[in-house]
Structure 1
Amino acid sequence: MEWMVSVAVLIALPIALFSELFVHELGHAVPVLLVGGRAHITIGNPDGWTVKLGRLKITAGIDGLKNTFLYGSTDWSGVESKRVHALGLACGPLVTVTLLLATSILLLSGIDGLLFGALQFFFFWLLGRAYYTIVPQTYSGGSYGGRISDGKKLLELLQS
C-alpha cells in the first residue's frame, strides 16, 4: 500500500509544478480578461498545442523537461489602462506567493514521509519562482535569457 502512495506522489509532483506555472501565468491574464481584453498564455514550447477559450488562448508544448516546467509567458492586448497592466503584472507573482503560503501551512500541519518531502520540494520551487519573478532583474540566460522579470516590468511601468 505504501508503494501506491509513493507512486501517486511521484506522479502528482510534476503535475503540480506544471499547474503552478500555468496558474502563475493565468494570474497575469485574469485582470486583462475581466476588463474585456485578450490574453495568450504560453507554457513550454510556443509551437505546441493551442486551445482558444473565448478571449483566452493557451499554448502548451513540450520543449525538454527544463523549458516545459520553467518557461511560461502571457501576452495581452485590447487594454490600454496602466492600472490593469500593473495589476496583470503583479497578479502572477501574487498567485505564486499565495501558493507558497498555502504550502507552508501544509508543511506545518504535521505531514510526514514522502508527502512531506514532495511538499518541501514544491515549497522551495515556489520560493525560487517567487524570487525570480518578483525581484527586478534582466535574466542572463536560460529560457528567459534577455527578458525582464515581472518585478522589473512592474517597476518600469510604475516609473513611466
Structure 2
Amino acid sequence: MIRGISRVVSADQLEVGRFYLTSFGGDESFIIQCVENERATEDRDRILALYFDRINENRLFVGGFPGTNVFAELLPVAVRVDPPSFSGTQFSTNLRKDLLIVAGNEPIAIAGTGRGWGWAAVNMFTGKIVNANELGAWVSFASWSLVYDDDEGEIEIISFGDDQE
C-alpha cells in the first residue's frame, strides 16, 4: 500500500479539481490543482494549473502546466482554515491575490495570473475558475492549509498565512 499519494499519472490523465505533485525538473517540486476556465476563448487557456508555490513566499498563481509529463496524484485534499485568523468579510476586505475566502461552504483561492488578468478566483472544491463578483457573502482567513486524511490522522501538505516563514 502507498500512503500520501494515490497514483502516478501522465498529463492526459489529469482531472479537473484534483491535486498533484510535480516539478519543473531539478529539486523544485510544486503542489498544483488542475483547474478549468470555462470562459476561456482559447483552448490553451481552458485547462490550467493552480500553483501552491512553497518557494516564493507561499504564493498562489494560475498558469499553464509545467513541461513535465509525470504527476503524483494526491489523496483527496481538504482545506483547513484557522478560525482565529478570521480576517474580514466582503464588506471589510477587498479581494486581492493570495487571499483565501470561504463563500457558503466552498473555499475560494484568489490567485495571481501570468497573463495580465491580474488575479483569478478558483473554487478549490470544483477546480473551476469562478466570477468573484457573483460569490455573495464571504469571509476571509489569514491562515489556512491543505490537508488529507490518512489512517494515522490528518496530514498537512502545505500551509499559508501570516504566521508562515
TM-score by length of 1: 0.24
Q: Which is greater in Rg?
A: 1
Structure with greater proportional strand content: 2
Structure with greater proportional helix content: 1
